[in-house]
Amino acid sequence: MDDAVDVWRAVRALPLRQQQAVVLRYRADLSTEEIAAAMGCDSGTVRTHLARAREALRARMGVIDARR
């Protein structure tokens, strides 16, 4: 199966707010501040949603974090 399809399938498995943050960042190419305004939260919350989403996607997709 196509990798992009697998990634977006994994995104759909995330909690709703994480899905929204990921879509607004990577599909709509919005900044953290723009995402915060669209989601009605502060930019720190957006950064948290994105970090948790990336962590969950790495785990789900079997990606090894080279930073560790």
pLDDT tens for each residue of 12-68? 999 999 999 999 999 999 999 999 999 999 999 999 999 999 999 999 988 765 554
Question: What's the full length of the chain, in residues?
Answer: 68
Q: How far apart are CA 33 and CA 6, in angstroms?
A: 28
Q: Domain range for residue 51?
A: 3-61
What's the pTM value of the predicted model, to 2 decimals?
0.85
Structural domain total, the chain: 1
- What is the DSSP annotation of 9-61? HHHHTS-HHHHHHHHHHHTS---HHHHHHHHTS-HHHHHHHHHHHHHHHHHHH
**Residue 50 maps to a domain:** yes
- Give domain status of residue 66, yes or no: no
CATH number at residue 24: 1.10.10.10
User: What is the CA 19 to chain-centroid distance, rounded?
Assistant: 6
Residue 14 lies in a domain: yes
